[in-house]
Structure 1
């Protein structure tokens, strides 16, 4: 298996910069300790990747799409797919890499899969346990059967391109509870409220209000992944009550925060 170095991380199987491969089996599991703010910039691998946070939350961006992944969910990233991976708060990423020629999985695009107890323990077993070739081959053969796709609506927060609107967007991503109106933001960045509203609509496809709602909800996911109480999460991201946060979350994703986080729990079967 060839290896490719990600910036600031251990080598991960991939394309350019390859070195002699790993002889342990058809797949490899690697651990990445990710302090808050760590970001692996846009890169790709010649191997398929299953990106999973054993602790904390990962955000994976592919094109215009963004997935926030608690430990109950992982993302299948086909070989050759450019992506970025980041963690706003400390996380442990365990990535599974499979060479396409050895992989029975043929999903052509990014796919969210449930991480139930059996898949979680199997990945940990392959990552942490020294195994002889026979037991390792049997464990590896089981893993693809446990990759069960789940329907998860991603919370997309597209960023505007205009410098003035982008300054507002970046400030709200950093501090989602900031209550300032478009008029107040406009005075700060040198644009009228009408101009900012037009820029958000034209460049993100969302009204400013809906864009801010999504930014708050995605920030809320990251807080919930570290088991903060729902009331505290709601207040941290700008909601006056947990019920208003849950209502907004359900409106955007079609499910409650609890259902989002439990999507993979109790599931260990195949497709």
Structure 2
């Protein structure tokens, strides 16, 4: 983890500042908080944000609103560009109490790029108009974060780490028990106790987590479904809809606007 060294656009008197942070794959900014509201977005690559014991995986089609004072960490599984907008709370009409996923349609994308590129050179009135339109375009969508925490029990953790390495591994708990020296019942109990999820649900969550960067990178639904262990694209789409709240096409496709 490192301390951010951004390219910053922060005009005197402006209500919104924009900062760019290039991220290497696997790189994270450690847990921190801001005095301003933050809109975290990756125009390139896939962003991940951890806050409130949840992890959001964010392709370029969506961003995450992070209220001022919220402890969080930010990273990427592959090279990405984090473009953050910071909103002064005293001049911001949005008062969402917790993080919210918002779509990034074409108009919002272009406005953010405009502020990032021209913000320091815009006349105050023009910049203020652009900032107001950005705020008008922020509308939260209801999606569920995908959780697959590692269990503390060392035998269950071995199973979890093996599945992280190969989400398509379809072995049953009894078969895993033979591999790690525990009964299926012991492993099942460990997953529920340590993660709050039955093993089957935990594995589904893990597969969805693994699928998100692949889909964001342009993988087809059928190819990604096979890669993470689903026998058919329809089964994968159904699992994604149940787990996230929307089908993959709605979450990853760029939105018009």
Does TM-score exceed 0.5, indicating one fold?
A: yes
Distance in 1 separating the partners of 2:163 and 2:113: 36
State the match for 2:122 in structure 1: 132
Q: Is residue 248 from structure 1 mapped to residue 243 from structure 2 by the alignment?
A: no
C-alpha separation between the residues in 2 aligned to 1:42 and 1:163? Answer: 26
What is the distance in 1 between the residues matched to 2:236 and 2:16?
41
- 1:163 counterpart residue number: 154
**How far did 1:190 drift?**
4.1
Q: Deviations over 1:103-151 (max 9, x none)?
A: 2221121111111111111111111225234232322232211111111
Q: Which residue of 2 aligns with 1:223?
A: 214
Among 12, 28, 36, the residue aligned to 1:23 = 12
Tell me the residue number matched to 1:238. Answer: 229
Residues 87 and 159 (structure 1 numbering): CA distance in 2 closer, same or farther, change over 3 Å? Answer: same
Tell me the SS of whatever aligns to 2:49.
Answer: strand
**Corresponding residue number in structure 2 for 1:211:** 202
1:64–1:158 contact (8 Å) kept in structure 2? no
CA 1:190–1:8 in 2, change beyond 3 Å: closer, same or farther?
farther
Residue 250 of structure 2 is matched in structure 1 by 259
Alpha-carbon displacement from aligned partner over 1:169-228 (angstroms, at most 9, x marks no partner): 233223322333333433444433221110111222211111111110121121111111
Range with bigger deviation, 34-43 or 220-229: 34-43
Alignment of structure 1 residues 45-194 onto 2, 5 Å:
45-129=34-118, 130-134=120-124, 135-194=126-185
SS of the residue 1:159 aligns to: coil
1:7 pairs with 2:2: yes
Gaps of 5+ in 2: none
Distance 1:22 1:176 in 2: 46
Q: Distance in 1 between matches of 2:233 and 2:172?
A: 22
How far apart in 1 are the matches of 2:72 and 2:180? Answer: 31
Partner Cα separation in structure 2 for residue 140 and residue 227 of structure 1: 31
State which of 6, 10, 31 in structure 2 corresponds to 1:42.
Answer: 31
Q: How many residues align?
A: 254
Name structure 1 gaps, 5 residues minimum.
1-5, 14-20
Q: TM-score, normalised by structure 2?
A: 0.88
TM-score between the two structures when normalised by the length of structure 1: 0.84
What is the CA–CA distance in structure 2 between the aligned matches of 1:119 and 1:7, rounded to whole Å? 29
- Aligned CA RMSD, in angstroms, stands at 2.3
